[in-house]
Every structure is written in structure tokens, then in C-alpha cells.
Amino acid sequence: MLQAEKQLKKWLTHHMLNDRIHKHVKIVLLYEEMVKKMNDLADPDKRIVGLKQVLRGVKDDIFQKIFIASDADEVIRLKIVSACSEKGMEFEEVFSMLELGNACAIDVGAATAGLLK
């Protein structure tokens, strides 16, 4: 019985490690995909920044994806999320307004930005 317990423990440890590695790789790949899309935001011809413009663009269905800063004012976040949900549009939350502003190559933070189709 002791040998079987050792084998079971070894098997479980191996699979738990593989699961952790798999989850880590998946997170890294998702992060890289998000960074790639955010890199497209630096091109002014591929993006629109700002609440009013993004809401207008959601209404006109001109975006492939909307980015919302996680630290943006809750009222702004709710407006964008509800507009996107209404239109069935994809949106993604990013870490901060500063990060989104940097991704858009602007000198200030941005609460939201849209990547054009």
C-alpha cells in the first residue's frame, strides 16, 4: 500500500504541476494577445479615444474591440459596458487609464478607446 501511495502522490504532483504550467502559459498567451491589440491603438488611424467618441462609434458599429480602463470612473465604465452589451460588442478591461493612454500614444490617461474594424 505504501508504494501505491507514493505512486499516487507522484502522479498527482506531476499533474498539478502540468496544470499550473498550462494555466500560466494560457495567461501569458492571453496577455500577449491583449498587448498586440493594444499596440494597434498607437496608430491614430486604427483607433478612437474618449467617452463621447467611443459611445458614438459603438452606436455606429465601427469597432472590432473596445478597451476600458479598470480604474476609470464607475459611471463611465457603466455607460460603455451597457452600450457594448446593447450592441453585442466585445470589450476588454485593461489595467489602468495611464496604460491605456500610453497604448494610444497620448500624453494623458484614457478611460476608454476603440479599435476600428
Per-residue pLDDT, 92: 87
pLDDT digits (tens, 9 = 90+) for 2-41: 555 565 566 656 555 556 655 655 666 666 676 676 778 8
Three-state DSSP class for residue 97 = helix
What pLDDT was estimated at residue 112?
Answer: 95
Position 82 scores a pLDDT of 93
Residue boundaries of the structural domains of the chain = 2-116
Q: Identify any residues that bridge with 66 across adjacent strands, giving them in sequence order.
A: 91, 114
pLDDT digits (tens, 9 = 90+) for 30-72: 666 766 767 788 889 999 999 999 999 999 999 999 999 999 9
Euclidean distance between CA atoms 103 and 82, whole angstroms = 24
- Please give the radius of gyration of the chain, using alpha carbons only, rounded to the nearest integer: 20
Q: What are φ and ψ of residue 102, in 5° steps?
A: -65, -40
Q: Does domain 2-116 have CATH number 3.10.129.10?
A: no
